Structure 1
Amino acid sequence: MLTSFSSYLFVGAHPDDIEIWAGGLIFKIHERNKTAKVYCVVLTDGSAGQGSVQERYEESMEAAKMLRVDSYEFLNFKDASLDFNVELSKVIANLIRKYKPDVLVTHPASDKHPDHAAVGLATSKALFLAMVSPEFLDYEPHLCRNVLRFVSDPFSSPSSRVYVDISEVYEMKKELIAKFKTQLDVLEPYLQLNELYGRMIGVRAAELFEPEVLIF
């Protein structure tokens, strides 16, 4: 059911956030729904992580080709600045209005990483701004009815959960994550979470999301 919508917007704070938390879902969307539109937006330049900004950009572009997304946009805000220097709710509201997704997938406000938490909190405000008509926003208003949050901490899993069986695309996801050569020592252990979540529902691998709003 989660792969049956017409359009999806994935918003990540950093290069590789979308791929590690939702790469399997994107693969499944393409396999199950040939007409779906998938848009990805990365908010920061990744400059606070390992590797140069250019290296991280090139890695993301390679990943975008493999994911076959319809748009992969970088906004290039300074890494680690989102909680301090950006009117983030306006930025995300404009993204919602620009891409008009049926489903928005992004970070939770409870994430321990300050950038992730800033995106999560700003998204809650942006969802309202996107559907009204303030003069400081672009594009036509849009009501996004479905919102999923990444689950990045297995020790604080939400009470409401959506598991996505990615067994059939798990090898592809591992190839996808291998594109991020500068980040492999950070990212590869998280693939084990996919196997853990899979065991929880009796399959090889799964991704886990928190449904904020989900209407089928």
Structure 2
Amino acid sequence: MKLDILVFGAHPDDAELGAGGTIAKEVARGKKVGIIDLTRGELGTRGTAEIRDEEAAKAAEILGVAVRENMQFADGFFVNDKNHQMEIIKMVRKYRPEVVLCNAVDDRHIDHAKGSQLVSDACFLSGLVKIDTKMDGDDQWQQPWRPRVVYHFIQWKNLEPDFVMDVSGFIEKKTEAILAYSSQFFDPNSDEPETPISSKNFIDSVTYRARDMGRLVGVEHAEGFNVERFVAIDNLDALL
């Protein structure tokens, strides 16, 4: 299956938190979007990996993505080396996306920056013809493929975006997808330990940030991204 957009997140819920509005909007536009989680979030303080699997599936259904897979890398301990890069290359060549979205270039959680660089490096390497890959159980060699662009969504830290995506009308869908991870986020009846993302203030902050980014560009809600190369436009009317 060829996808238009492939979203990588170090943990289940990263894609929803960083780019949930963008994903929902692109799906509504008829784009084929997929999500690949690098880990199962097994080191998370609240819940279990099995619960996160169920929550990720529910969130994917809410967003309407075409596919969601999990690489099952070690939460907290995966590294940006050849073995991990080769596994990401296989996914990029399998789905041949035009656009890749991935973790923030710098963030509070160490996996976010690691995942960001790992995916970026693998996307470049995926275009090299002398790197040979096969999917497990397949006897066919994969063809090289390099995404047209790689964009990094903004997460915990308030990084300065290179561009923002108007997601007005999709913030409710984003919030619904985030709250599918009921083990992770605000639940007044939960007896699980408190974490930096389990407060009501954190959930509210997701909407506040989207509203503030939208305010700065004259729309209701927006999500911010960082780029790896200049953003080019076809004409001045392409700007909001």
* Shorter-chain TM band: 0.7 to 0.9
Alpha carbons of structure 1 residues 27 and 67: separation in structure 2 relative to 1, 3 Å? same
Which 5+ residue runs of structure 2 have no aligned equivalent?
135-141, 187-196, 234-240
Matched, 1:15 2:16: no
Alpha carbons of structure 1 residues 155 and 178: separation in structure 2 relative to 1, 3 Å? closer
Contact 1:108 1:121 in 2 (8 A): no
- TM-score normalised to structure 1 length: 0.87
- Within 5 Å, give how 1:1-216 maps onto structure 2: 7-32=4-29, 34=30, 36-49=31-44, 50-83=46-79, 87-138=83-134, 139-158=142-161, 161-185=162-186, 186=197, 188=203, 189-213=205-229, 214=231
Opposite residue 173 of structure 1, the aligned amino acid is K
Q: How large is the RMSD of aligned CA atoms in angstroms? A: 2.1
Could you tell me how far apart the structure 2 residues matched to 1:86 and 1:60 are? 27
Could you tell me how far apart the structure 2 residues matched to 1:27 and 1:170 are? 9
Corresponding residue number in structure 1 for 2:194: none
- TM-score normalised to structure 2 length: 0.78
Contact 2:39 2:70 in 1 (8 A): yes
| Residue aligned with 1:140, SS | coil
Contact 2:8 2:119 in 1 (8 A): no
TM-superposed deviation, 1:173: 1.5
Could you tell me how far apart the structure 2 residues matched to 1:162 and 1:156 are? 11
Q: Give % identity.
A: 32
| Alignment size in residue pairs | 207
TM-superposed deviation, 1:125: 1.9
Which whole-Å deviations, capped at 9, do the CAs of 1:4-35 have from their partners, x for residues lacking one? xx700000000100011111111111222x2x
Which 5+ residue runs of structure 1 have no aligned equivalent?
1-5
Contact 2:107 2:157 in 1 (8 A): no
Contact 1:170 1:205 in 2 (8 A): yes
